[in-house]
Amino acid sequence: MQEALIGGIFAATIVALYLRPRGVRDWQVALVGASVAWIAGPLSFADGIVLLRHSWNIVAFFLGLMLLAAGAEAAGLYERVASVLRHQRPGRRRVVAVLVLGTAVTAILSNDATPLVLTPAIFAAGGLGTPETMRAALAVTFAADGASLLLPISNPVNLLFYERFSFGFGSYALHVLPAAAAGIAVLAVLTWIASGKSDAGADPGPGEPAAGEGVLVPAAFTTFATGAVAVLALAYIAAAMAGVPLGLVTLGGGATLFIGAVSFGGFDQRRYREHISAGLLVFVASLLLLVAVVSRVGLLSPLVQAFGHLNAAPVLLTIAGAALIATLLSNLVNNWPAALLLAATIAVTPAPHGALVVGSLIGCTIGANLTMVGSLSTVFWLSLLRQRGAAISPAAYFRASALPTLAAVAAACLVAAVTL
């Protein structure tokens, strides 16, 4: 009876997150679902508090990302990236610039920052109302998801698995980084080829000035922020190798840019209010708690059995099977709750876990690009498009994403099987 009740609560929460009842925010839905499941489930109050306390690194990572996004925009770094993009001619040349810049931004600031940086620039870069504009816009979200496997900090999903299964940076660099590079290469080439087509399947809408354009930023602050981001990139590598929690590093980087904004006169309360959302932190913690209850009540047993069978298969089949499950689950319930479910499943699956972890990572990052609801960064990208009057249907998005995404997942799985 309890299993059915918790299953119903979980399903209702996921459906409500999709439907978003009028006036209700995502974090409110997640908080109610987690609270009801916590009360009705087998997880004690003390156990829940311990779980939430142990999730501090993930929460710190998200908070740090929000501070970094606000600080980078305040320092004019986004506008500098956008100006590079606007100097590229529409068509394949601009798509290449988007893919390169998007990969770089994703690697250091995570995939959620990439749409924020590049989407406004696409609509301010000329060629308004043309298919080339939408092709470049699609390249933004493809780059964000395709490159999000690159480093542990390139996607919050990576950090979840990295922390849960005690990945060392050397292990990540050896087993995941080559697979990520293969996925990026395949997705980029196919996206570039498709950018030569005449129809993107969407209406790009009217153009507008890029965010931050025309705002005077103190040159000293821009120089300071550029140096801080460069140091942050090195700090990530050093911290990962030393076993220092990456959430602390991210939070430290965000705090550094915040101090810079205050010191150099670039602080803008409005900008920081736009970027920093306490609701997102509640959303993240609530889903962690909800999945813990689902796992404790035994609802993951079928998935555990499936992963157990996969674990007994040859390594390529194990990775590909886990990637397929993760891709389907990510595009059904979004990749963050999917990653939480998969991490909980793998944790109770008999060892070894390496192939299952790598396959799940591939599916929850690259594979999440398959639909418009698969990745949090794609959902964010879509909202930015709608703010600018652009439109793309789920079917049109799937037609554009299916081949590059599935080919990139396959390439990443093949390379991962060689390195494991």
Is the confidence at residue 52, as pLDDT, over 80? yes
**Domains of the chain, residue spans:** 2-419
Residues 6+ apart with CB under 8 A from 338: 326, 329, 330, 332, 364, 368
Task: Name the 3-class secondary structure at 141.
Answer: helix
Is the confidence at residue 209, as pLDDT, over 70? no
pLDDT (average), residues 267-291? 83
Sign of CA dihedral 368, 374, 377, 378: positive
Residues 6+ apart with CB under 8 A from 344: 291, 292, 294, 295, 300
DSSP string, 309-371: HHHTS-HHHHHHHHHHHHHHHHHHH-HHHHHHHHHHHHHTSPSP-HHHHHHHHHHHHTGGGGS
Mean per-residue pLDDT of the chain: 86
Counting beta carbons within 10 angstroms of the beta carbon of residue 234, is it exposed (0 to 12), middle (13 to 18) or buried (19 or more)? exposed
How confident is residue 141, by pLDDT bands cut at 50, 70 and 90?
A: very high
Count of other CB atoms within 10 angstroms of residue 117: 28
Q: 88 and 195 in contact (C-beta within 8 Å)?
A: no
Q: Which of 358, 366, 365 lies closest to 310, judged by CA?
A: 358
How confident is residue 206, by pLDDT bands cut at 50, 70 and 90?
A: very low
Tokens of 223: 């120089």
Full-prediction pTM beyond 0.95? no
Q: 308 and 349 in contact (C-beta within 8 Å)?
A: yes
**DSSP type of residue 203:** E
pLDDT digits (tens, 9 = 90+) for 162-191: 888 877 888 899 999 999 999 999 999 999
| The dihedral formed by the CA atoms of 157, 161, 167 and 169, expressed in degrees to the nearest 10 | 0
Q: Which of 7, 112, 135 lies closest to 65, judged by CA?
A: 112
Q: Which of 334, 361, 340, 349 lies closest to 291, judged by CA?
A: 340
Beta strand residue intervals within 162-284, DSSP E: 202-203
Is the confidence at residue 291, as pLDDT, over 60? yes
Q: 246 and 65 in contact (C-beta within 8 Å)?
A: no
Adjacent-strand bridge partners of 391: 203
Which pLDDT does position 367 carry in this prediction?
A: 96
Which pLDDT does position 94 carry in this prediction?
A: 86
Which pLDDT does position 127 carry in this prediction?
A: 53
Q: 156 and 249 in contact (C-beta within 8 Å)?
A: no
Which pLDDT does position 32 carry in this prediction?
A: 93
How many angstroms separate the CA atoms of 97 and 39, rounded?
A: 50
Residues 6+ apart with CB under 8 A from 386: none
Tokens of 340: 């939480």
Tokens of 39: 């009360």
DSSP string, 40-87: HSS--HHHHHHHHHHTHHHHHHHHHHHHHHHHHHHTTHHHHHHHHHHT
